[in-house]
Chains A and B, each alone.
Chain A
Amino acid sequence: MTEWKLPMPSELSEKLQQETIKNLQRFSKGMDLVYRPREPQLGQTPKELIHKKNKSSLYRYGHAADRRHAVPVFMVPNLGISRPYIFDLYPGSSFIEYMVQQGFDFYLLDWGVFGDEDNGLTFDECVTQILPVMVRKVLRASKARQVTLLGYCMGAPLGACYAALYPEAVKNFVNMAGPIDFKQAGLFTTWLDQRHFDIDKLVDAFGSMPSDMVRVGFKMLKPTMDLTTFTNLWWNLWDDSYVEGFLALNKWANEFTPFPGEFFRQWVKEFYQQNKLVKGELVLGGRSVDLSNIRCPLLVVGAKQDNITPPQCARALMDATSGSDKEYLELPGGHISLIAGRGARRNVWPKVSGWIGQRSQEA
């Protein structure tokens, strides 16, 4: 028969004392947050504006003396949805800072926040007009002949289309959590199905995809996320470093940006509804986008719990391209865990930088 034991009074009292102190700290720091809100210091890695085209800006990071690799890294993030300072959150928790420390000549394309005057901008123009100019500017600034193209989220299909149309400019291609096979894009595939979602009506009515609707769409993906976030905040309120990270990430996670109308129409129709990219039916700038034209070394990184780009959705690029040097990594965490947070710094960034580093010598 099991012998039940009661806790020792001394143990219990010690634990209660610890808990009381922690709760007092939680209370005092919570009050501090409410009554003296502070703006997190974001994007502190030194950068220089290389080029600006309409709302989009191209930044170069770090100092010349720190650059050890011959091939520049050009990062293309998502257009719309959120701002790109997630990649340079704050010192010690910044993907860009990490890459600069590893000796890369790092460039980031900030698509910017588009207004009503940009509603005519299409996916097609982004790939065939904006990206080529930005790549030329990167090559000119770095005096290199090719770039390592690193696409994150929607930046990966944008980058993949570019790499398929202009393969000569791309030395390596990295897809981080970027959707390729849209039949496997989880809840968004179901919600944006053409039987239920009338994209033409939406764009015709609003002109753009407003940021509030983007917010609703993403919040619905995980309705319990805010509850978990704030429970975790309360739990860790006594820990200053956690609070610092929370403030930065929370600012980013609640700053949604709109999509230009025509871009969103093409994105939903040709990618989510018709899955043209992986079928080889996509035509941009009058040319067919054939992913098998991508013959350069390829790294695809998927996140196990990603509900925006499930791993199999990103992995599809492995089969669609025709190079011989291909690697697929599936790492723990969600969509954002690849690019921000302690897990990213420990599990993801060293692998990505190591892979690129090995392939960053100019021929």
Chain B
Amino acid sequence: MSDGFMNQDLLSMWKRSMDQGMEAWQKLTGQQQAPDISQFWRPMFGQSLDVWTQILKQGMSSPDVLAHWKKFLDDSVEGWSKVLEQAMGTDGFAAAMGKFLDQYMNTVGPVRKSLQSSNEEFLRTMNLPSRKQITDLASQVVSLEARLEALEERIEDLVDSISLLETFVKRATNP
């Protein structure tokens, strides 16, 4: 009897903590609708209940405990995945992520720029080409390649036109 009460208490405590957690999560993401946490626990409990009912009712026709465990694990991971997907699909999450990225760029951007300029300064002092100079050179090579390709295309078109003309002339002279 007292065990029953204790279990009941534990269950209520668990439920309360889940509700509080959900409220906190809602506040954090500014969500109106709470993610459906039952999508996480329902497959887990449903699956394990099914497995044990089957085992106890029919005997272990397939006593593959590991397979049952694997299915149980897959279902719970899938459940978590759905909950996370719901939470991450909110505007609140996107705003929080955007804010984080913004702060990251505010910090990293100036550091990168100052590192780049000091590196370039150092390389110039050492009389070595900087990354920017090499990149510029590569861009020039790329544009040269594009111009060559355009020329090649025109030559190929000309060759095609000439062969077409040849065929035409041949047909005209030998009807």
Contact = CB atoms under 8 A, between A and B. Distances in A.
B10 interface: no
B133 to A, nearest CB: 11
Contacts of B85: 187, 222, 307
A323 B158 CA distance: 35
B60 interface: yes
Nearest to A120: B139
A11 B97 contact: no
Interface in A114-145: 115-118, 120, 129, 133, 136, 140
A1 to B, nearest CB: 12
A205 B105 contact: yes
A116 B135 CA distance: 6
A190 interface: yes
A4 B98 contact: no
A197 B101 CA distance: 8
Nearest to B53: A2
B50 interface: no
Contacts of B136: 117
B20 interface: no
B129 interface: no
A193 interface: yes
A36 interface: no
Nearest to A54: B142
B149 interface: yes
Interface in B75-98: 77-78, 80-81, 84-85, 88-91, 93-95, 97-98
A206 B73 CA distance: 40
Nearest to A222: B81
Given A54-B146, A191-B97, A4 B57 contact: yes
Contact of A117 (B57, B77, B139): B139
Contacts of A136: 153
Contacts of A205: 105, 108-109, 112
Nearest to B95: A196
Given A53-B145, A133-B149, A190-B94, A2 B57 contact: yes
Contacts of A187: 85, 88-89
A220 interface: yes
Interface stretch (A59-67, A78-86, A223-231, A248-256): A223-231
A7 interface: yes
30 contacts: A2-B57, A7-B60, A8-B59, A11-B60, A11-B61, A15-B64, A53-B146, A54-B146, A115-B135, A115-B138, A117-B138, A136-B153, A187-B85, A190-B89, A190-B93, A190-B94, A191-B94, A193-B91, A196-B98, A197-B98, A201-B105, A202-B105, A205-B108, A205-B112, A222-B85, A223-B84, A224-B80, A224-B84, A228-B74, A231-B73
Interface of A: 2, 4-8, 11-12, 15, 19, 53-54, 115-118, 120, 129, 133, 136, 140, 186-187, 190-191, 193, 195-198, 201-202, 204-206, 220, 222-224, 227-228, 231, 235, 307
